[in-house]
Chains A and B, each alone.
Chain A
Amino acid sequence: MGVAKLKKAELYYHKSVHDPIAAALQESGACQIISTLEAEGEFHKTPAEVDALISCTEDKLADVRYLNRTLTPHYVDPIPALDRMLGERPDVTMTELAELASNTDLKALCEKTRAVEHEAGNVRLKLSEARLNSSILASLSFLDYPLSIFTEGTQTLTALAGNIKTDNIPALRATLSEKFSQDTELLTAPYDEKKDKGQEVCAVIMYVRSIESEIRELAAKNGLSLIEVPASFALTPAEEKEKITASISELEAEDLKLTEKLKALAQENMLTVQKLSDYYNSLAARYNGTAKSDETDCTMLTKFWIPVAKCEELTAKLEAISPEVELIFSDPAPDEEPPSLLTNGDLVRPFNILTELYSSPTYRGIDPTPLLAPFFWLFFGMCLGDAGYALVVFGTILYVFKKYKKMSLGVKDFIKLFLFCSVSTFIYGVISGSFFGNFIDSFVPVLVPLKNSLMLVDPMTNPMQVLGISLLIGVVHLMFGLLIAAYDKIRSGFIFDAIGSNLSWFFFIVGLCLMGVGMAGMLPAHFTQIGQAMAIIGAVIIFFYAGKEKKGIINKIISGFLALYGSTSYLGDILSYSRLLALGFGSAVIGMVINLLGGLAANIPYIGWLVAIVVVIGGHIFSILINILGSFVHPLRLQYVESFGKFYSGGGEPFTPLTLSHEFVNVKA
């Protein structure tokens, strides 16, 4: 339990066995290679043999990445995304992958794909050009002249086309006829003066070549934005349109054909590409790992961290590969900071992720997981707090476990977390009388006596009771945190600090609580006196400890009072636990509302029962999802902010061993 003890391993081996040794280290999944670069702080030279392997692998990897990137958008994965996430993927061994790699001509496949992709690119370029031309033709469709008038013109005449706002047309027409009445003609697309006011329409000016520059100037002045008529246009717009429509449909057919070709390529090769992606990524990780080794002419030295529990297994494995290996284990030196690996039993392990989400503990620090697990479990149960919802979650998870056998450990643990928490949810649901909200009261009144006989608390009619319990749990949780902090300090030899900054607060707050409870008459009167004494002792220690480093009596007094004022933050922390009531209450009331709506829907004539069933089932599914989110986030906040704030800061580097890549397939050693 806690942070795993690690050994520092130094592995000496002959260069000739580099490959099998590196593979064994990777396949064990228990070795985090130590970078000699970091250790010595100078430029590290990668052994030449490894360097060659890396560059060879990177070459292949570049091809695989290209294929992956190009073909994935065209690939229809036969495995649904959810199944994939839950581990339903092909199983392969590294040996099979190596065979596949040697039988696959990646270069040829890349070239084939590139050729199709290139062709498809060209077709799309032509297609977009054709579509642009077609839109130009559409705007010129009012012309009856051959379009060569724009591109070549006649001996004396030429023309220009452009878009112009309808408001500007009269002015342009007036100016043209006034200045060059004989030499120009203005044609515009038909428009309605009222309806198309302010719209742009296409206009064409035909003119005698000699006045070209004047016309262009005039056109620009009157707000005519020119359209570039493509040089390929020669026939009338209608004829050109016919031509271009034909070519567009041809290009579209071509594009479709090429896309189909890419799809076929993807369907045929994607599985291989995915397998090879994992294969070459594994190799790249492996060689980049041993690249951190030191070398002599014939031998290499690889250093890595390994959990103590795995040492023997690895030694046996390496010695089986070659007698010429020397493996030396040593304990981490006091000035070294090894990575931290959380090892917890089956019951606590699913909660590891909560600690890791915050920050891994340091190697020599406390692993808070076993300490947070029971509280998180309880909090989640109180927040979701519904026996019916718990059964749904429990059943769903059992089904998932039954159906998906190949889940990765991480996914499995995360799901297990909710499996565990559904148990506390069920328990709290039973004792607070919540089963799909007030389902029992609304629809099966027969069971009401049974429900009521199991109820210990009733948030609906007596919320103050549950509020009190929530705050009490808060006090326990916070005090627990303080005691751990004190323990941690005493362990490291800071007994004085443990008393001054942790135990003092523990006495103070527990004392105050005892006083309060005693005065309320819930406990015998002498508890009041004990509480009073504890609170005074605590307060006195807090007061004096705060001023210990301050100079001058006034400064000491001021900092003492400031420290006592810090009790408001404890008050805030404790009140924060009222969310346990609020969220539990929230899910119960949402459930109640859904049942109520279902009951109202049942009054609809004829189909009422159907609507009611849909409302109740759909509503409760929604409620479960939204409430699970809340019930996960809020207990987590209580852990991270209220509890971890007292004793835990993390800051460790998580243990990241050299492993095989599992992005697309399940790779076995």
Chain B
Amino acid sequence: MLGLSLALFGAALAAALAGIGSAIGIGVAGGAAAGVMTEDPNKFGSCLILQALPGTQGIYGLLIAFFVLNKLGLLGGAGAVDLTWNQGLQILASCLPIAVVGWYSAIWQGKTSAASIQMISKKPEAMGKAIILPAMVETYAVLALLTSILMLMGVQVG
């Protein structure tokens, strides 16, 4: 059963660390958004979009976690597949890219979002640029997601 535990540990890391990162990132951006909205409540729409940007990492983490659970047969009542500890470790390793990169990139994306929110408070017409700057950070989360997916698909179980 060590294999299963290791694999679950990986899934937990993916969902938890990426989720923590997104929560911090959205929190940082939300603080800036609230500040801007005290001056101009009409900016709610654009602030919300910018605040939501660092939220994707959490979703990517969740996605990988589900992917793992599905692979392990833990969803839908089919019963868990048998896993050697080696296979479990492989799944754990596959979860690490999105767990670690998701965690950190969401925090930094949140900081960039916050800065972008400050920017649109002065220059609302620069919304396009304001969205792109945080999206630059997210690239690495997308790459990590891709790595995790490809790694997981490569791991043979059952």
Contact = CB atoms under 8 A, between A and B. Distances in A.
Given A581-B146, A626-B52, A636 B131 contact: yes
Contact of A630 (B56, B62, B139): B56
B123 interface: no
A575 B63 CA distance: 22
A600 B60 contact: no
Contacts of A592: 66
A633 B76 contact: no
Contact of A596 (B75, B128, B135, B145): B75
Contact of A358 (B55, B70, B129, B142): B129
Given A599-B76, A634-B135, A582 B146 contact: yes
Nearest to A470: B146
Interface of A is mostly: helix
Given A463-B150, A582-B145, A626-B55, A637 B132 contact: yes
A313 to B, nearest CB: 29
Interface in B100-158: 127-129, 131-132, 135-136, 138-139, 142-143, 145-146, 149-150, 153
Interface in B11-66: 49, 52-53, 55-56, 59-60, 62-63, 66
Nearest to B67: A589
Contacts of B136: 637, 641
A85 B131 CA distance: 22
B132 A641 contact: yes
A392 interface: no
In this complex, the member of B49, B75, B128 whose beta carbon has the largest number of chain A beta carbons within 10 angstroms is B128
Contacts of B142: 578-579, 582-583, 634
B96 to A, nearest CB: 17
B149 to A, nearest CB: 6
A626 B146 contact: no
B59 A357 contact: no
Give the most central of B127, B142, B149: most A CB within 10 Å: B142
A590 B63 contact: yes
A576 interface: yes
Contact of B76 (A589, A596, A640): A596
A174 to B, nearest CB: 50
Given A593-B66, A596-B76, A633 B145 contact: no
Interface in A586-639: 586, 589-590, 592-593, 596, 599-600, 626, 629-630, 633-634, 636-637
Contact of B59 (A464, A579, A586): A586
Contacts of A640: 128, 132
Nearest to B134: A633
Contacts of B76: 596, 599-600
Given A589-B63, A589-B67, A578 B55 contact: no
Contacts of B127: 357
Contacts of A634: 135, 138, 142
A585 interface: yes
A579 B137 CA distance: 13
A68 B138 CA distance: 42
Given A589-B63, A590-B59, A636 B132 contact: yes
Contacts of A354: 128
Most central of A463, A586, A599, A626 by chain B CB within 10 Å: A586
A596 B76 CA distance: 8
A358 B128 contact: yes
Contacts of B55: 626
B56 A626 contact: yes
A586 B60 contact: yes
Interface string A114-125: 000000000000
A590 B3 CA distance: 26
Nearest to A579: B142
Contacts of A600: 75-76
A633 B63 contact: no
B139 A576 contact: yes
Contacts of A463: 149-150, 153
A590 B59 CA distance: 8
B149 A629 contact: no
Contacts of A589: 63, 66-67
Most chain A beta-carbon neighbours within 10 Å: one of B60, B63, B138, B150: B63
30 contacts: A354-B128, A357-B127, A357-B129, A358-B128, A358-B129, A463-B150, A464-B150, A467-B150, A576-B139, A578-B143, A578-B146, A579-B139, A579-B142, A579-B146, A582-B146, A585-B149, A590-B59, A592-B66, A593-B66, A600-B76, A626-B55, A629-B49, A633-B132, A633-B138, A634-B135, A636-B131, A636-B132, A640-B128, A640-B132, A641-B136
Interface of B: 49, 52-53, 55-56, 59-60, 62-63, 66-67, 70, 75-76, 127-129, 131-132, 135-136, 138-139, 142-143, 145-146, 149-150, 153
Given A596-B75, A630-B56, 8 more contacts: A357-B129, A579-B139, A599-B76, A626-B59, A633-B135, A636-B132, A637-B135, A640-B128
10 cross-chain pairs, A with B, having the tightest CB-CB distances, nearest first: A357-B128, A582-B146, A579-B142, A637-B135, A633-B135, A582-B142, A593-B66, A589-B63, A582-B145, A578-B146
